[in-house]
């Protein structure tokens, strides 16, 4: 573990090099639009030389977590998030799980208005889709800006999986846009995830 202390510390979104010079390894990804390799987690930046017999002479850059290595959201991952804030055009959320594994670091996600559902995108009302505290199943689209992942709930099986009503009870989904409080019977609007039948 001695060498880890020498390795520089990086955070998500930090530039590790150009795709023409280095390959993205664990904890890193290459952005095709600008051919730049970025860190996707907080940890130690290491450069691994290519194997002597490799036709590709680029070294691999990787970021190894400074904590016990938990799962890291990648584009295409299905994640479970808790909504923290709902604004007019987006909702912020903390990513809690990647697939079935809980994350050990803090990752933030943003669900933009255009990524809430696949149809009638211009009619999406963020405040009728999510509320702070909702547990949402979402798909990671990309590492967006400001070190937050862009998330989508635009498939039927994605959306709110658990929500608390104003009365404090866990609501039951009654349609893909509504959940009902079992205590008061009150209906609240949500972008509901369709349960796998």
Stated length of the chain: 197
For residue 2, give the H/E element and its range: helix 2-6
By DSSP bridging, strand 101-112 and strand 90-98 are antiparallel
By DSSP bridging, strand 60-65 and strand 43-48 are antiparallel
pTM of the full structure: 0.66
pLDDT in tens, 74-129: 899 999 999 999 999 999 999 999 998 888 788 999 999 999 999 888 899 999 99
The CA distance from 189 to 47, in Å, is 49
| pLDDT mean across residues, the chain | 88
Give the pLDDT confidence score for residue 3 in this predicted structure.
Answer: 40
**Interior CA angle at 193 toward 74 and 122, to 5°?**
85
pLDDT > 80? residue 36: yes
CATH of the structural domain 78-189, one choice from 2.40.50.140, 3.40.710.10, 3.90.45.10, 3.30.70.20: 2.40.50.140
The reply to whether 2-65 and 78-189 are identical in fold is yes
pLDDT in tens, 142-157: 987 667 899 999 999 9
Q: Tell me the β-bridge partners of 93.
A: 83, 109
Instruction: For residue 53, give the DSSP letter.
Output: T
Q: Count Cβ atoms within 10 A of the Cβ of residue 184 and give its class: 0-12 exposed, 13-18 middle, 19 or more buried.
A: exposed
The CA distance from 24 to 22, in Å, is 7
Domain ranges of the chain: 2-65, 78-189
Give the pLDDT confidence score for residue 180 in this predicted structure.
Answer: 96
The hierarchical CATH code for the domain 2-65 is 2.40.50.100
């Amino acid at each position: 573990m001695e060498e880890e202390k020498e390795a520089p510390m990086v955070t998500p979104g930090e530039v590790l090099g150009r795709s023409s010079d280095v390959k993205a390894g664990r904890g890193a990804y290459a952005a095709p639009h600008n051919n730049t390799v970025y860190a996707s987690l907080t940890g130690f930046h290491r450069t691994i030389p290519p194997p002597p017999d490799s036709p590709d002479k680029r070294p691999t850059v990787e970021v190894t977590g400074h904590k016990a290595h938990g799962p890291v959201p990648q584009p295409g991952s299905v994640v479970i998030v808790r909504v923290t804030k709902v604004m007019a055009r987006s909702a912020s959320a903390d990513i809690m799980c990647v697939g079935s594994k809980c994350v050990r670091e803090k990752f933030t996600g943003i669900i933009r208005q255009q990524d809430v559902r696949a149809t009638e995108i211009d009619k999406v009302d963020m405040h009728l889709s999510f509320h702070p505290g909702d547990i949402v199943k979402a798909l990671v689209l990309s590492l967006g800006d400001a070190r937050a992942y862009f998330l989508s709930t635009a498939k039927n099986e994605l959306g709110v999986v658990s929500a608390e009503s104003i009365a404090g009870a866990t609501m039951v989904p009654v349609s893909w846009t509504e959940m009902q409080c079992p205590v008061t019977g009150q209906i609240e609007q949500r972008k509901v995830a369709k349960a796998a039948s």
